[in-house]
């Protein structure tokens, strides 16, 4: 597929900003439009070094605003749609914004797309959470969807809307379903950055429940490579799982973080469990493997590098913590160790 210009939604978030940086290296002449509302989760410092890049254009705006899309769509050949509300804990406290952004936002992007035949690809970023929890084995792409948080339910709505616009209106949709990403520029409300930055300051690490929950951790650059491959070789109308087979219990990751930072395990504090907390996510990613992708980063190396990044970029995350004290993590950040 020959792509000269691309629209990225949510490009100031964690994966979106890593993807823009990755694209710039791989495709230096690509014109990149970044449409981002700049919610609390965005960080314009993530792409500070792009300010003088003539082929990078930031547009502050909402994916639900069709008038902005009508200006941007004629200019691009492809769309990669990351924009979303992404934190499960927030979706439990205040689900409304998730439904509006994921469902109505994705609907607006798709509905507007009907008119623009110049756009050859709509790569929709879904998530492995839409399958729900699985005790044994792994979900292939054709598994029933069984989301269990307002976040994953909203993402399921968006995923199926994207598919329906392929099936009904023949829009050029591909769906990516990555597992838990980690790496640089991730917001400190999320598990790995929260635990690293709290540990760096000798603050408690709030581990939900018994810490037995398992996630499949995928290094963000491996995910970026998978997404680029889907842009190049993915089949229109198909969904692709992107996993790493790096399944770990939260307690084991917490112990790795304290050990790599040479801190004491007593920093780990067992706290009340997340409501409806999914025990284990696991996806079968044979389909994308057959297209020629597999993750390169070993988890221990990736975690060490991520820790190093947060150590070196204290200013970046201290600003985030100072500026954005959401109630559900403020209490853990501020609490003194007994």
Shortest separation between residue 247's beta carbon and ligand DAU, angstroms: 12
**Contact residues: ligand DAU, CB under 6 A:** 86-88, 127-129, 179-180, 190-191, 194, 206-208, 213, 215, 250, 274, 281
Indicate whether 181 belongs to the interface with ligand NAD (CB under 6 A).
yes
Query: Could you give the 3-state DSSP secondary structure of residue 34?
Result: strand
DSSP bridge pairs for 181: 218
Task: Categorise residue 71: left if φ over 0, alpha if ψ from -120 to 50, beta otherwise.
Answer: alpha
Residue count of the chain: 338
DSSP bridge pairs for 214: 249, 280
Q: Can you state the angle between helices 191-200 and 314-323, rounded to 10 degrees?
A: 100
Indicate whether 155 belongs to the interface with ligand NAD (CB under 6 A).
yes
CB-neighbour burial class of residue 301 (10 A; exposed 0-12, middle 13-18, buried 19+): exposed
Shortest separation between residue 323's beta carbon and ligand DAU, angstroms: 18
Contact, 192 vs 216, CB < 8 A?
no
Compute how many residues bind ligand NAD; rule: CB under 6 A. Answer: 30
187 binds, among ligand NAD, ligand DAU, none (CB under 5 to 8 A by kind): ligand NAD
281 binds, among ligand DAU, ligand NAD, none (CB under 5 to 8 A by kind): ligand DAU
Mark the segment that binds ligand NAD (CB under 6 A) among 80-88, 136-144, 163-171, 293-301.
80-88
Indicate the Cα dihedral angle 181, 187, 193, 197, nearest 10°. 170
Shortest separation between residue 149's beta carbon and ligand DAU, angstroms: 8
Would you name the residues annotated as active-site residues?
128-129, 151
Q: Using CB atoms, what's the residue nearest to ligand NAD?
A: 13
Q: 214-219 and 247-249 as β-strands: parallel, antiparallel, unpaired?
A: antiparallel
143 binds, among ligand DAU, ligand NAD, none (CB under 5 to 8 A by kind): none
Indicate whether 184 belongs to the interface with ligand NAD (CB under 6 A).
no
Mark the segment that binds ligand NAD (CB under 6 A) among 58-66, 159-167, 231-239, 247-255.
58-66
Q: 78-81 and 5-9 as β-strands: parallel, antiparallel, unpaired?
A: parallel
Shortest separation between residue 49's beta carbon and ligand DAU, angstroms: 25
In whole angstroms, give the CA distance from residue 158 to residue 108: 11
Contact, 170 vs 156, CB < 8 A?
no
Nearer to ligand DAU, 112 or 250 (CB): 250
CA atoms within 13 A on the CB side of 332: 23
Q: Please give the residues from 258 up to 297 whose contact with ligand NAD meets the rule CB under 6 A.
A: none
In whole angstroms, give the CA distance from residue 281 to residue 284: 10
Query: Could you give the 3-state DSSP secondary structure of residue 330?
Result: helix
116 binds, among ligand DAU, ligand NAD, none (CB under 5 to 8 A by kind): none
Q: Please give the residues from 88 up to 117 whose contact with ligand NAD meets the rule CB under 6 A.
A: 101, 105
Indicate whether 16 belongs to the interface with ligand NAD (CB under 6 A).
yes
Choose, by CB under 6 A, the member of 80, 83, 121, 244 that binds ligand NAD: 83
| Six-digit token string for 13 | 């978030």
Shortest separation between residue 80's beta carbon and ligand DAU, angstroms: 16
Shortest separation between residue 61's beta carbon and ligand NAD, angstroms: 7
13 binds, among ligand NAD, ligand DAU, none (CB under 5 to 8 A by kind): ligand NAD
Locus of tokens 């770990």 = 248
């Amino acid at each position: 597929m020959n792509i000269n210009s691309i629209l990225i939604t949510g490009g100031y978030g964690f994966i979106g900003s890593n993807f823009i940086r990755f694209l710039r290296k791989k495709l230096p002449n690509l014109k990149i439009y970044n449409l981002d509302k700049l919610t609390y989760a965005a960080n314009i410092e993530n792409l500070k070094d792009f300010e003088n890049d003539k082929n990078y254009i930031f547009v502050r705006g909402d994916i639900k605003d069709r008038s902005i899309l009508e200006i941007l769509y004629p200019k691009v050949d492809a769309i990669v749609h990351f924009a979303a509300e992404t934190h499960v804990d927030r979706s439990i406290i205040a689900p409304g914004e998730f439904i509006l952004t994921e469902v109505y936002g994705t609907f607006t992007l798709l509905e507007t797309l009907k008119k623009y035949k110049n756009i050859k690809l709509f790569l929709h970023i879904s998530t492995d959470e839409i399958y729900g929890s699985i005790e044994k084995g792994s979900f292939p792409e054709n598994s029933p969807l069984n989301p269990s948080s307002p976040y994953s339910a909203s993402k399921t709505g968006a995923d199926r809307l994207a598919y329906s616009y392929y099936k009904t209106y023949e829009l050029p949709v591909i769906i990516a379903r990555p597992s838990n990403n980690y790496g640089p520029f991730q917001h400190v409300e999320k598990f790995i950055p929260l635990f690293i930055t709290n540990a760096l300051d000798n603050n408690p690490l709030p581990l939900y429940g018994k810490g037995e929950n398992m996630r499949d951790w995928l290094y963000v650059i491996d995910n970026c490579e998978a997404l680029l491959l889907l842009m190049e070789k993915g089949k229109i109308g198909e969904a692709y799982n992107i996993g790493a087979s790096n399944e770990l219990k939260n307690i084991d990751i917490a112990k790795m973080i304290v050990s790599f930072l040479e801190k004491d395990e007593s920093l780990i504090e067992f706290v009340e469990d997340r409501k409806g907390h999914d025990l284990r996510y696991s996806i079968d990613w044979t389909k994308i493997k057959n297209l020629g992708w597999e993750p390169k980063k070993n988890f221990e190396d990736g975690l060490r590098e991520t820790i190093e990044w947060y150590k070196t970029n204290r200013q970046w995350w201290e600003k985030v913590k100072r500026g954005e004290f959401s109630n559900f993590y403020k209490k853990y950040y501020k609490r003194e160790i007994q």
